[in-house]
Amino acid sequence: MSFTMPAMTAAVMEAAPSEHAGIASAVLNAGRQVGGVLGVALLGALVNRRDAFVPGLHVAGAIAGAAFLVGCILTLRVVPRGRPRT
């Protein structure tokens, strides 16, 4: 998260109109917190079984890595580059 949060914050704040900067920041932070909670809960559920801790950990790591790669690909395809500032 330390690599993605500054770029995500900058992208959201640049895209939001200045009169809605507070709302944009609040929605960004709320979404980040909800995403973190759901991620920990879902990945933790995969690791929870005592007899399958290590295999569950491997599956959770693979899912987290795949989600990160999907996010990277979506960002490269969807987010416009080189947009002039106003």
Question: Which residue has 């399958």 as its token pair?
Answer: 52
Position 27 scores a pLDDT of: 92
Mean pLDDT of the 18-43 span: 89
Select the more confidently predicted residue: 41 or 1: 41
> What is the value of pTM for the model shown?
0.60
Residue 30 has pLDDT above 90, yes or no: yes
pLDDT digit string (tens) for 12-29?
Answer: 888 888 899 899 999 989
Position 34 scores a pLDDT of: 92
Would you kindly state where each structural domain of the chain is located, as residue ranges?
5-78
SS (H, E, C) 12-69: HHHHCCHHHHHHHHHHHHHHHHHHHHHHHHHHHHHHCCHHHHHHHHHHHHHHHHHHHH
